[in-house]
Amino acid sequence: MLKIREFVQGDDEEVWLRIGNESFKEYDDFRPSTMEDMEIWEKDPGFDPVGMFLAEMNGETIGRVQAYVDKKREEKKGFVRALGVVPEFRRRGIGRELTERAIKSLRERGMETAQCWIRDDKIPCKHLFESMGFDLIRIFSAMRRELNIIPSDVGGNEDVRLRVMREDREDIELLRWLVDEAFSEHFDFRASTLEEWKHWSEHPDFDRKGWFFALLAHKPVGHVGTWIDSKFVKHTGIKRGWIDTIGVLKSHRRKGIGTSLILHGMHYLRSKGMTEVELGVDDLNQTEAIKLYDKVGFRVIRKDLTYLRNIV
């Protein structure tokens, strides 16, 4: 007998992690999630245990899903996330039941659409969501390059000065402002809060020395942030870092500032011993960011798909 029950905060963390780790271990960039990750997540200002479900079969937990409502969003769009069924119990309709439960939960909380993300090579996920009426609405590219040679002859801005982020509240506020300004016209944008950035900056892997502001005549006009997931590097042995975010104010685009920023981020990651770097970009990004990444040698390694369904 299949039973789908609510997640109980304080009791179910370990089982939530176990199901996730068993379900996602087939991913090529998998690393196990730990209790420390869970504790950090539960402290996130946006964390909400409501909508988290576990599937049990004869008392054994075998699947999970999260139906997430982002309370900071005005539009009535919810998210289906973290869906996983352990391999031995697949193809028995459990993924579908969990997704249906998640949609019901979003509907009960007033959501009108449900969105989810799927990697293009995850055929079971694609079939599952497409068979449940989700439509592909947006495609993102994951891009990667090695860091052995970092190009120096690809332009850049001669006048721009890059300064490392400081630890104070003022710089966190500046980062928040620069990111929101740069992304305000982007797909799925919602303004971030200082509290969220503060939480991010307190993550044990957050390294402010890898976060930079671009200054023109002392005025901040852009930012770049790098990320190294220390547990990923330790688990896989792959020395891969990420360009977490990069942006230039609209008024200062097409002047080589983005090039200077990304090159700087790449040099920083290499200085930390990374041998490759990855980033994600919206294929329909109006600023054609993908061309910048292409210019500095990134190549597409995967597509990440966004699906949406009307749930009214």
Ligand X SMILES: CC(C)(COP(=O)(O)OP(=O)(O)OC[C@H]1O[C@@H](n2cnc3c(N)ncnc32)[C@H](O)[C@@H]1OP(=O)(O)O)[C@@H](O)C(=O)NCCC(=O)NCCS
Say if residue 19 is exposed, middle or buried (CB neighbours under 10 Å; 0-12, 13-18, 19+): buried
Task: Confirm or reject binding of residue 139 to ligand X (CB under 6 A).
Answer: no
131 binds ligand X (CB under 6 A): yes
Binding mask 18-57 for ligand X (x = CB under 6 A): -----xx---------------------------------
Per DSSP bridges, beta strands 211-216 and 161-164 are antiparallel
Total residues contacting ligand X by CB under 6 A comes to: 20
Q: Which residue is nearest to ligand X (CB)?
A: 95
CB of 2 to ligand X, least distance (A): 10
Question: If binding is defined by CB under 6 A, does position 260 make contact with ligand X?
Answer: no
Decide: 251 and 207 in contact? Cβ < 8 Å: no
| Residue selected from 96, 138, 198, 253 as contacting ligand X according to rule CB under 6 A | 96
Contact at 8 Å (CB) between 304 and 139? yes
Query: Measured from the CB atom, is 130 or 207 closer to ligand X?
Result: 130
122 binds ligand X (CB under 6 A): yes
Rounded Cα distance, 44 and 9, in Å:
14
The only residue of 124, 163, 219, 301 in contact with ligand X, by rule CB under 6 A = 124
The single-letter DSSP state of residue 88 is G
The two three-digit tokens of residue 120, written as one number: 């293009």
Beta strands in 77-218, from DSSP E residues, in sequence order = 77-85, 113-119, 135-146, 161-164, 211-216
Which segment (78-86, 100-108, 167-175, 190-198) binds ligand X by CB under 6 A?
A: 78-86
Which residues in this chain contact ligand X in the complex, by CB under 6 A?
23-24, 83-85, 90-96, 118, 122-125, 127-128, 131
